[in-house]
């Protein structure tokens, strides 16, 4: 597909992991922390890093990776492995992109979104390395149009910095991400993470927040307020957590200390950004 004069780029797309293949790409000492699904009749439990996570409220795990699944009047629970083929097969993804006129797509994992939150940090780093290999392998089907991202064990800034360097310099990642919300002993915008942000600034690729449907189910917004209602749960975990992360990064001096750092707040829309920046500016003028 030739590059159009004004290419359409999908800046936040997801693959769906073949969990058996993903486990193979995780170094052997950390494979027992690898993501997998546990059959529960018509539903599944998601296991990663020694924890089991229930399916998101009101949705099966398979439905979460089928575009528009929750708009289908004949909805049915489906297993993760039954999800849309465009999530698992890069050739099917490229065909869909051709059909829709999309030139390039930035690819995030799905179940791999959760890997950076595993404890201990060394295990998180091991699983992140496997997830990042998997995303890079998927994108290698056409690296001119599929661009891989990478996740890091952010609760350990030194390990996170090392994985970011490896992902960019060895795997060709175009962005590094971690979930919005709480990481380790401090909020995302605390100086505790300065060694990581210093490394990110030198790499020249953006650091992005990107939450998943269950990644902050026990430490973030909405889980306790919208039981069984996927729509308000989903929009709150993604959008409001991104807004909080943006407010913290902008008001706690991270960009002052690391002026070369690029940041993004993904899967949260963009309509909130103008009024949120306006409110932050208002507070800066009034309160310093």
Specify if 63 maps to a domain. Answer: no
Whether residue 214 is predicted with pLDDT greater than 60 in this model: the reply is: no
Whether residue 192 is predicted with pLDDT greater than 80 in this model: the reply is: yes
Q: Which residues contact 89 (CB under 8 A, 6 or more apart)?
A: none
Specify if 66 maps to a domain. Answer: no
Whether residue 131 is predicted with pLDDT greater than 90 in this model: the reply is: yes
pTM: 0.93
Q: For position 151, what pLDDT does the model report?
A: 97
CATH assignment at residue 148: 3.20.20.140
**How sure is the predictor about 115, in pLDDT bands with cuts at 50, 70 and 90?**
very high
Specify if 34 maps to a domain. Answer: no
Q: What is the overall mean pLDDT for the chain?
A: 89
Whether residue 204 is predicted with pLDDT greater than 70 in this model: the reply is: yes
Q: For position 235, what pLDDT does the model report?
A: 82
What's the structural domain count of the chain? 1
Specify if 29 maps to a domain. Answer: no
Specify if 104 maps to a domain. Answer: yes
Decide which of 179 and 261 is more confident: 261
Euclidean distance between CA atoms 174 and 206, whole angstroms: 8
Specify if 155 maps to a domain. Answer: yes
- The secondary structure of 200-268 as a DSSP string is HHHH-S-EEEE--TTTTTTTSSSTTT-TT-HHHHHHIIIIIHHHHHHHHHHHTTHHHH-TT--EEEESS
Out of 61-65, 69-73, 180-184, 232-236, pick the least confident: 69-73
Three-state DSSP at 75 gives: coil
Domain around 100: 90-287
Euclidean distance between CA atoms 155 and 128, whole angstroms: 13
Q: Which of 108-117, 158-167, 178-187, 242-251 has the highest mean pLDDT?
A: 158-167
Specify if 192 maps to a domain. Answer: yes
Specify if 266 maps to a domain. Answer: yes
């Amino acid at each position: 597909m030739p590059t159009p004069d004004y290419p359409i780029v999908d800046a936040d797309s997801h693959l769906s992991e073949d969990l058996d293949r993903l486990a193979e790409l995780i170094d052997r000492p950390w494979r027992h922390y690898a993501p997998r699904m546990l059959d529960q009749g018509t539903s599944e439990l998601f296991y990663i890093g020694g924890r089991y996570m229930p399916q998101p409220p009101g949705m099966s795990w398979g439905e979460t990776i089928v575009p528009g699944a929750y708009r289908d009047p004949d909805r049915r629970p489906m297993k993760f492995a039954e999800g849309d083929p465009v999530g698992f097969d890069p050739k099917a993804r490229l065909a869909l992109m051709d059909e829709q006129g999309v030139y390039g797509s930035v690819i995030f994992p799905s179940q791999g979104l959760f890997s950076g939150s595993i404890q201990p940090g060394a295990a998180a780093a091991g699983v992140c390395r496997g997830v990042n290999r998997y995303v890079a392998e998927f994108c290698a089907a056409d690296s001119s149009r599929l661009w891989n991202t990478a996740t890091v064990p952010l609760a350990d800034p030194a390990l996170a910095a090392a994985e970011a360097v490896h992902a960019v310099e060895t795997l060709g990642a175009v962005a590094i991400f971690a979930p919005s919300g709480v990481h380790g002993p401090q909020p995302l915008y605390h100086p505790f993470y300065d060694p990581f942000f210093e490394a990110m600034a030198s790499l020249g690729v953006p650091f992005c927040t990107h939450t998943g449907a269950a990644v902050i189910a026990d430490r973030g917004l909405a889980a306790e307020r919208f039981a069984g209602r996927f729509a308000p749960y989903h929009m709150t975990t993604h959008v409001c957590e991104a807004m909080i992360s943006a407010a913290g990064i902008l008001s706690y001096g991270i960009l002052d200390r690391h002026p070369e750092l690029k940041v993004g707040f993904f899967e949260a829309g963009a309509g909130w950004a103008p009024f949120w920046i306006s409110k932050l500016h208002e507070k800066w003028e009034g309160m310093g």
